Every structure is written in C-alpha cells, then in structure tokens.
Structure 1
C-alpha cells in the first residue's frame, strides 16, 4: 500500500493526462506512516496563470490529509492554497473528526520512501498584517525570530534585545540554533520570504522539527512577506 501511495504522489495520473509532481526531499523523518488518509495535490503547471494546479477533490473531512506539493513552486504560489486547506480543516473539525491531522508528503531520501511533516496547527499569516502585535508579546521572553530571506541568508534575532543577530545558511542553520539551545531553553517563530521554493521551506521545517526535543518551543504562527 505504501509503495502504491509513493507512486501516486510522484506520478499522479489524471484521466488521460499524466501529471508529474516532484515531492520535496527530507532525511530521517520522524513520521513515516500515516493511516486513514485522503490526498490533495498542488502541481507545478506552466499552463496555469500562477503556474499551479490545485486538486482537492479527493479530500475527505474525517480523514488525515496528505498534502502533496511540488517542490519547484514558490511559497508565493503555494501559500493561498495552504491557507484554504487550513481554514477548511478548522471548519471541518468543529463538526467531524477532531483528531484528523494535516501532513506534507515528502520523499525521505534516507529510507527511499515517504516521510511526513505535520502542519495541522500552523497558522499562515502575512507579515505586514499581524506581525508587530505578535512580536510585542515576546519582548519579555527568550524568543528568537528566524527570518528566512533566502537559502543562503537566514537571520536569527533575539527579540528582547534586538542586538544578537546570527546570519547563517540553510545548510548550517541547525548547528547554529543548537549552539544557542545549549545556553538556555528558547522559543522561536519563523518568517519566510515568499520567494523561497517549497523545497527550501520544507528543509528548514524538517530541521526545526528535529530540534523540538532540545528545549525548543516553536510557535505555530508563521509569517510571510
């Protein structure tokens, strides 16, 4: 069953038209199996106005949702569809299965099979709308802001002082944050440039997920600019 699902995610067939969806890659996923599922797809399609095709017709509200996003898309292209899915899930949970969750489907290269990242509780927000009010509530705590400008520029800033700024890359980001966690437990939130590819977004999300056991609290509010 998992092998069939992998083929479905990588090479989804729609009627007579073959559509290829390139899953984002991760390594050593904590979640490698999800049961009772229904899928949604966000394809890369240059024939569409925004180069995306959003297929959600197979979603069932009472199941876990596997959201398959082409890694070549940018966050600007993907974000409206993710906001739609989150809103739909929250409305469904009010009346149906409160335990159903949302997952991104990924290609776990370490096991050559599927891996999953949960995003059920993530709230996708625009930075210019809600960010200032949100940050004002964090100034009295040890809270780091992670600003992902690009794959080669990630800025870590301690909100309480606004002095300590560590600029790193997506490749060395994990070790930089680990060194800060050795000093004290911290909380953090992430803000992302909408020009990032979905692959880069998933790479950072998977690294953060691995650090949650090291006294790191990750806020479910994600901001985009």
Structure 2
C-alpha cells in the first residue's frame, strides 16, 4: 500500500481539493533523501482532445531545494518549457538566492519501494537538434540511436561504460519532444547511474 501511494502521489491542497500525479518509475535510486525542500507539481490535464500541463508552485520557496513532481504521462514538449521557466526564475533570483539549493525530479523506485530523486540543477535544455556530430538520441518510441545507428539500452550502457572518461563531454543527449516524461526519467536515471553528468540536453 505504501508503494502504491508513491506511484500515485496524492496532494491535498488547502482548498480541500485532492489531486493526484502518476509518478515516473525506475529501478535505481539516485538520491534517496532531500531536506529543506519545496514541492512543485505539474499535473496531467485534458481539454477536449488536447493534453495540457498545469503547474502549481504555490508552496515553492526560492531559497530551498525544489522537488518537481511531474505526471509521467505528459510529453516532453509540454513539460520542458515549464521546467525551463522554473529554472530561469530560480537562476535569475537575486534577493533570496541560495547557491546551494538544488532542483530534483521525483520518481518511484520500483525495486526498493521508495521515493527517489534525480538532480537536474546544472542541466540547460535546448529545444533544437544539437549541431554536434556525436549524438545519443531517444526516439518517441524510446528507440536508441547512437550517431544515427540503432541500439538497445544494454548496448548503450556498455558503450558508455567503455567510452573514454575524458571524452564523455563530446556526447550530446537528445530526446524526442513526444517522448513521455516517465520514459525520459528512466533514461536519465540510466545515464546518471553511470556517473555521467549532462550539462545540455536537446529536446526536438
């Protein structure tokens, strides 16, 4: 029952309305605990035939660590623009800026049955295809292409593990804008579990 409540994150707002977010899932915990944090929610909404992302940051405090709880069903084309706005707000803050405050995505660890967190403070999102010739791309169907050549997740893991550490910086990670946020998190967890930090990510 406890794990079920993690997969469905239930939020009871002061107005008495109960909302729910279907959290992303992975089998690895990157960060297990975050203190001094503020929650931000991005809900999955529908209006007629359209899918919408609705942001609630009423309880966010600029000087704290931000935890973004995002519904896994949302496509990146709706999520990332909202995340970029939040990043800009925090990065451009002057009066109450806290250089130590981080940003995290929340997700459920399906193996250890706990809530986990994925840091993304240093990531800058770019909404176009990278000009670099060495690209790891995750398609809408979560197919993987390394410099245009298809491969499996296990092959990607083996490739990244064997890649010279001093040259990892030349790799650019791209994600299809129609990829679901839940699948994006699974791929991000894979990348970070290999101790690879991405400073730029391309959504196109």
TM-score (norm 2): 0.86
Of 173, 176, 188, 1:205 maps to 188
| Unmatched runs of 5 consecutive residues or more in structure 1 | 158-164
Separation in structure 2 between the aligned mates of residue 101 and residue 180 of structure 1, nearest angstrom: 26
| Superposition deviation, residue 98 in structure 1 | 0.3
The question of whether the paired residues in 1 share the 8 Å contact of 2:138 and 2:174 is answered with yes
Separation in structure 2 between the aligned mates of residue 153 and residue 109 of structure 1, nearest angstrom: 22
TM-score (norm 1): 0.78
Partner of residue 85, structure 1: 86
Structure of greater relative contact order (alpha carbons < 8 Å, 6+ residues apart): 2
Partner of residue 179, structure 2: 196
Separation in structure 2 between the aligned mates of residue 50 and residue 183 of structure 1, nearest angstrom: 39
Aligned-pair RMSD on alpha carbons? 2.4
Partner of residue 45, structure 2: 45
The question of whether the paired residues in 2 share the 8 Å contact of 1:43 and 1:52 is answered with yes
Query: How does 1:129-148 map onto structure 2 within 5 Å?
Result: 131-132=130-131, 135=132, 144-148=134-138
Partner of residue 162, structure 1: none
The question of whether the paired residues in 2 share the 8 Å contact of 1:174 and 1:208 is answered with no
Q: Deviations for 1:188-222, whole angstroms, at most 9, x for unmatched residues?
A: 2211111000011001000000112xxxx543111
Separation in structure 2 between the aligned mates of residue 93 and residue 24 of structure 1, nearest angstrom: 33
Partner of residue 161, structure 2: 181
State the aligned residue count: 196
Separation in structure 1 between the aligned mates of residue 60 and residue 139 of structure 2, nearest angstrom: 33
Compare 115-124 and 14-23 and name the one that shifted more: 14-23
Separation in structure 2 between the aligned mates of residue 195 and residue 93 of structure 1, nearest angstrom: 35
In structure 2, the CA distance between the partners of 1:183 and 1:111, relative to structure 1 (3 Å rule), is closer
Partner of residue 11, structure 1: 10
| Superposition deviation, residue 126 in structure 1 | 1.4
The question of whether the paired residues in 2 share the 8 Å contact of 1:22 and 1:70 is answered with yes
Q: Does 1:151 align with 2:141?
A: yes
| Superposition deviation, residue 224 in structure 1 | 1.2
Report SS of the residue matched to 2:38: strand
Partner of residue 30, structure 1: 30
| Superposition deviation, residue 92 in structure 1 | 2.4
| Superposition deviation, residue 89 in structure 1 | 1.5
| Superposition deviation, residue 52 in structure 1 | 1.8
Report SS of the residue matched to 2:183: helix
| Superposition deviation, residue 99 in structure 1 | 0.4
| Unmatched runs of 5 consecutive residues or more in structure 2 | none
